[in-house]
A = this chain, B = another copy of it.
Amino acid sequence: MKDQVIVEVSIVPLGTGSPSVSRYVAACLGVLQKAEGVKYTLTPMGTIIQGPLATVMDLIQQMHEVPFEMGALRVSTFIKIDDRRDKLQNMEDKVQSVKRRTG
Protein backbone atom coordinates (compact mmCIF):
# COMPACT_ATOMS: atom_id res chain seq x y z
CA MET A 1 0.00 0.00 0.00
CA LYS A 2 0.99 3.57 -0.58
CA ASP A 3 1.59 4.08 3.15
CA GLN A 4 4.26 1.46 3.24
CA VAL A 5 6.73 1.95 0.48
CA ILE A 6 10.26 0.70 1.00
CA VAL A 7 12.92 3.14 -0.11
CA GLU A 8 16.69 2.90 -0.24
CA VAL A 9 18.66 6.11 -0.07
CA SER A 10 22.34 6.90 -0.30
CA ILE A 11 23.58 10.47 0.08
CA VAL A 12 27.20 11.21 -0.77
CA PRO A 13 29.07 14.53 -0.79
CA LEU A 14 31.58 15.01 -3.62
CA GLY A 15 34.87 16.89 -3.42
CA THR A 16 35.16 16.91 0.36
CA GLY A 17 38.86 16.15 0.44
CA SER A 18 38.53 12.88 2.35
CA PRO A 19 37.41 9.47 1.07
CA SER A 20 35.56 8.89 4.35
CA VAL A 21 31.91 9.88 4.36
CA SER A 22 30.69 8.30 7.62
CA ARG A 23 30.31 11.59 9.48
CA TYR A 24 27.99 12.86 6.72
CA VAL A 25 26.00 9.63 6.72
CA ALA A 26 25.65 9.81 10.52
CA ALA A 27 24.43 13.41 10.33
CA CYS A 28 21.86 12.50 7.65
CA LEU A 29 20.59 9.70 9.91
CA GLY A 30 19.89 12.36 12.55
CA VAL A 31 16.91 13.42 10.42
CA LEU A 32 15.47 9.89 10.62
CA GLN A 33 16.17 9.55 14.34
CA LYS A 34 13.84 12.49 14.98
CA ALA A 35 11.23 11.42 12.43
CA GLU A 36 7.88 9.84 13.25
CA GLY A 37 5.93 7.29 11.28
CA VAL A 38 8.84 5.60 9.55
CA LYS A 39 11.10 2.63 10.23
CA TYR A 40 14.65 2.52 8.93
CA THR A 41 17.69 0.33 8.87
CA LEU A 42 21.29 1.04 7.96
CA THR A 43 23.07 -1.26 5.50
CA PRO A 44 26.72 -1.22 4.35
CA MET A 45 25.57 0.58 1.17
CA GLY A 46 22.78 2.90 2.26
CA THR A 47 19.75 3.43 4.44
CA ILE A 48 16.44 1.67 3.90
CA ILE A 49 13.32 3.50 5.04
CA GLN A 50 9.77 2.19 5.27
CA GLY A 51 6.77 4.47 5.56
CA PRO A 52 4.24 6.53 3.60
CA LEU A 53 5.69 7.65 0.25
CA ALA A 54 5.18 11.39 0.79
CA THR A 55 6.68 11.24 4.30
CA VAL A 56 9.72 9.29 3.15
CA MET A 57 10.35 11.61 0.20
CA ASP A 58 10.07 14.65 2.45
CA LEU A 59 12.57 13.16 4.91
CA ILE A 60 14.99 12.36 2.10
CA GLN A 61 14.90 15.97 0.94
CA GLN A 62 15.77 17.04 4.49
CA MET A 63 18.60 14.50 4.63
CA HIS A 64 19.90 15.70 1.27
CA GLU A 65 20.40 19.20 2.75
CA VAL A 66 22.54 17.98 5.65
CA PRO A 67 25.90 17.62 3.84
CA PHE A 68 25.46 21.16 2.42
CA GLU A 69 24.91 22.46 5.96
CA MET A 70 28.19 20.73 6.85
CA GLY A 71 30.04 22.52 4.04
CA ALA A 72 29.76 20.18 1.05
CA LEU A 73 29.48 21.92 -2.34
CA ARG A 74 28.02 19.00 -4.26
CA VAL A 75 25.82 16.14 -3.14
CA SER A 76 24.92 13.03 -5.10
CA THR A 77 21.77 11.37 -3.81
CA PHE A 78 20.51 8.06 -5.03
CA ILE A 79 16.96 6.88 -4.21
CA LYS A 80 15.25 3.60 -5.10
CA ILE A 81 11.54 3.26 -4.34
CA ASP A 82 9.85 -0.12 -4.15
CA ASP A 83 6.10 0.50 -4.07
CA ARG A 84 3.91 -2.58 -4.12
CA ARG A 85 0.16 -2.08 -3.80
CA ASP A 86 -1.31 -5.55 -4.17
CA LYS A 87 -0.25 -6.40 -0.63
CA LEU A 88 1.22 -4.69 2.39
CA GLN A 89 5.01 -4.74 2.19
CA ASN A 90 7.33 -4.87 5.14
CA MET A 91 11.13 -4.65 5.22
CA GLU A 92 11.55 -7.82 7.29
CA ASP A 93 9.04 -9.81 5.24
CA LYS A 94 10.85 -9.05 2.01
CA VAL A 95 14.05 -10.60 3.35
CA GLN A 96 12.19 -13.52 4.96
CA SER A 97 10.26 -14.41 1.80
CA VAL A 98 13.57 -14.84 -0.01
CA LYS A 99 15.23 -16.72 2.87
CA ARG A 100 12.34 -19.18 3.07
CA ARG A 101 13.06 -20.11 -0.53
CA THR A 102 16.83 -20.43 -0.18
CA GLY A 103 16.59 -22.64 2.90
Smallest Cβ distance from A98 to chain B, in angstroms? 5
A97 — which chain B residues lie within 8 A by C-beta?
22
Number of identical monomers bound together in the oligomeric complex: 4
> Does A53 have its Cβ within 8 Å of any Cβ on chain B?
yes
When C-beta atoms are compared, the residue in chain B nearest to A79 turns out to be B79
Contact of A74 among B19, B54, B57 (CB under 8 A): B19
Q: Is the CB of A43 within 8 A of B95?
A: yes
A82 — which chain B residues lie within 8 A by C-beta?
45, 74, 76
By a beta-carbon cutoff of 8 Å, the part of chain A in contact with chain B is 6, 8, 10, 12, 14-23, 25-26, 29-30, 33, 41-46, 48, 50, 53-54, 57, 61, 64, 68, 73-86, 91-92, 94-95, 97-99, 101-102
